[in-house]
Structure 1
Amino acid sequence: MMRDKNMKKLIRAGFCLVLLLIVLLVLVALQHVLEKKQPDKKDSTETVTESMDGRADDATEAVLETETETETETETEVAQSGVVTLHNAMIENVEGLDNTSQGWGMGPTRDEFNRPVDALNYEEKFAPYSVDFIKNTEEKVVYLTFDEGYEYGMTPQILDTLKEKNAKAVFFVTKPYAEADPDLVQRMIDEGHIVGNHTVHHPSDGMPSLSIADQTAEIMETDAYIKENFGYSMYLFRYPTGQFSEQSLAIVNNCNYRSVFWSFAYKDWDVNNQPDETESLNLLMEKLHPGAIYLLHAESQTNADILGSFIDQVRAQGYEIGVYSDTLQ
């Protein structure tokens, strides 16, 4: 009887041992399965790092894109303002330079692009003096410039047309003009045009007829007035009557200005004898050429009336109306 009881205890113990082993095996198996399913810590860290790196790269790109956009906007604002800071090399011994007065006019000879050869030659000859007689390019681009010695009521119409056609121009003003018509000068600036220097008194015998000191005063007095009253720095200069000399070119250069002549002009300044509109428009188109600098007088009723048609026809020929400041930046 006792023997039977001991046997039963041994059987129960063995059975419990087997059950315990089975439970242990099941637990080990479950742990192995769970470990296979759970990502390795290193892999997890790398994944998170890669994700963060990705977000960091995206953020960096976003910042760079924002900075690029800001830089682009700044460049656009500078370009729209039309203001350029020149850094002309000073010309020494101005007193010793030739002051023989010469007028600017072009002969009939033109190259294969219809460009006046005289303008190209003078552009090369006087290059050290920071001067333009033409823009030496084969690209189809022209530049509009208006001389403003006095106001004859045409400038508002000219500005309206330029605004309508989304075209920019250079307006060369005298000091008396700016004093008499400040609203128009301010409008030129506000609408993105360039205001250039056309002296104080517009000397009828030309700049070379004046002393070095007086020539400098003609430039810098107007410069100071525009800067003080409009907060605008001028940098382009046009010679009254087109009379200049080697010495006067050096004076303008040393005042940190660029002299701007022209590769097209016609008799449009006599308000009592205005040229025919159709003939004038045909002439402007006939002389069309790459890099053209058109000199037009703003007191001309003809110029004011044909300006819109001229811009349309120029563009129809594949040309663009250039922004002068773009050529200097």
Structure 2
Amino acid sequence: MNKFHLRGFLLAVIIISAGIVFNPYSAAAEEFHWGFKKATNGVPPDAGAAFNEVLDKYGAIYKGKPDEKVVYLTFDNGYEAGYTEPILDTLKAENVPATFFLTGHYLTSATPILKRMVKDGHTIGNHSYDHPNMANLSEKGMEDEWSRFDKKLKELTGIERTVYVRPPKGTFSEKLLSFGNELGYRHIFWSIAFVDWHKDKPRGKDYAYGELMKQLHPGAVILMHTVSSDNAEALLSFIQDAKKEGYLFKSLDDLVMEYEGIESVY
């Protein structure tokens, strides 16, 4: 187990031991759809009191500290459209870590790219195996989605399990967050996003770059989709210009340790 994956394993232990394990039978069954008012002028977005309360209760995270210029890149991958490797090339050239939230389909259909993600030192997140509405599932169904993904990931890469999960389409419930905690998972949402998931409707590099820079804020957890040529083309300019504005790019492990008040030893 290398240093990178050891950190992920230790964070799984933290999730269970840090007091965010709850009785799933007491969790509300209400379905939520993640959303927030977009950031402007460098001011972080606020998802509102209701969302903030339920996320804090279960240790779910959507942004970092509002007074530190740090960015956390995450990508959702349901299928491969030919743009992930250029994205990986950019991340490698700029020495920037990222988390790739994958589906079971992606694991099996784009295995060589998955293995490159791991080799390059990026984190693999669990976006479920079949991309269902996770809030509608029974606990057995939830566990099956996450565990099938983890089993296939281990088979293909040797990684023991994932720590970070993201519900398809941002649809969740208290029960989902609670039961995920019980199984050692932490939900990661996002504070920057834009319409970028239509492979056949490119809007150009300037569109993606403009959305990223317009919404950029301290502690940003950025969600992008790798099916977008716009993102692949804009990523280098965005990273370089964000760095010029004083932003650092860190991993979700760093974000979680910040959330838990744990000082990194690496």
Change (3 A) 1:187 1:259: same
Aligned-partner Cα distance in 2 for 1:189–1:119: 35
Once the two structures are TM-superposed, the CA of residue 134 in structure 1 deviates from its matched residue by 1.1
Q: Which amino acid aligns with 2:96?
A: A
CA contact (8 A) 1:202 1:240 kept: yes
What is the TM-score with the length of structure 1 in the denominator? 0.71
How high is the sequence identity, in percent, across the aligned residues?
33
Once the two structures are TM-superposed, the CA of residue 79 in structure 1 deviates from its matched residue by 4.4
Change (3 A) 1:282 1:113: closer
- The answer to whether structure 1 residue 114 and structure 2 residue 43 are counterparts is yes
CA contact (8 A) 1:157 1:304 kept: yes
Partner of 1:98: 28
Once the two structures are TM-superposed, the CA of residue 136 in structure 1 deviates from its matched residue by 3.1
More helix by share: 1
Q: Which amino acid aligns with 2:198?
A: D
Residues 227-246 of structure 1 correspond to what in structure 2 (within 5 A)? 227-232=154-159, 233-246=161-174
CA contact (8 A) 1:119 1:263 kept: no
Partner of 1:321: 249
CA contact (8 A) 1:197 1:237 kept: yes
- The answer to whether structure 1 residue 294 and structure 2 residue 222 are counterparts is yes
Partner of 2:145: 218
Which one of the candidate residues 200, 203, 207 is aligned to 1:272? 200
RMSD of Structure 2 on Structure 1 (CA) = 2.2
CA contact (8 A) 2:38 2:191 kept: no
CA contact (8 A) 1:120 1:134 kept: no
CA contact (8 A) 2:22 2:179 kept: no
Change (3 A) 1:109 1:282: closer
Change (3 A) 1:108 1:159: closer
- Higher relative contact order by CA 8 Å / sep ≥ 6: 1 or 2? 2
Which consecutive segments of 4 or more residues in structure 1 shift more than 4 A? 79-82
Once the two structures are TM-superposed, the CA of residue 272 in structure 1 deviates from its matched residue by 1.2
Q: Once the two structures are superposed, what CA deviation does each residue of 1:206-262 show, in whole Å capped at 9, x if it has no partner? A: 211111210111111111221232111311101101000111111211120110100
Which one of the candidate residues 55, 77, 80 is aligned to 1:126? 55
Once the two structures are TM-superposed, the CA of residue 328 in structure 1 deviates from its matched residue by 3.1
- The answer to whether structure 1 residue 143 and structure 2 residue 68 are counterparts is no
Partner of 2:264: none
Aligned-partner Cα distance in 1 for 2:5–2:24: 35
What is the TM-score with the length of structure 2 in the denominator? 0.87
SS of residue in 2 equivalent to 1:118:
coil
Tell me which structure has the larger Cα radius of gyration. 1
Which one of the candidate residues 186, 192, 207 is aligned to 1:258? 186
Once the two structures are TM-superposed, the CA of residue 81 in structure 1 deviates from its matched residue by 6.8
CA contact (8 A) 2:39 2:217 kept: no
- Alignment size in residue pairs: 251
Note the residue ranges of structure 2 that are not aligned, 5 or more in a row. Answer: 258-266
Q: Which amino acid aligns with 1:97?
A: A
Change (3 A) 1:276 1:139: same
Change (3 A) 1:316 1:151: same
Once the two structures are TM-superposed, the CA of residue 326 in structure 1 deviates from its matched residue by 2.1
SS of residue in 2 equivalent to 1:177:
helix
SS of residue in 1 equivalent to 2:208:
helix
- The answer to whether structure 1 residue 183 and structure 2 residue 112 are counterparts is yes
Residues 6-17 of structure 1 correspond to what in structure 2 (within 5 A)? none
Aligned-partner Cα distance in 2 for 1:119–1:150: 32
Note the residue ranges of structure 1 that are not aligned, 5 or more in a row. Answer: 1-73
Once the two structures are TM-superposed, the CA of residue 161 in structure 1 deviates from its matched residue by 0.8
Partner of 1:41: none
Partner of 2:262: none
Partner of 1:83: 8
Once the two structures are TM-superposed, the CA of residue 99 in structure 1 deviates from its matched residue by 1.3
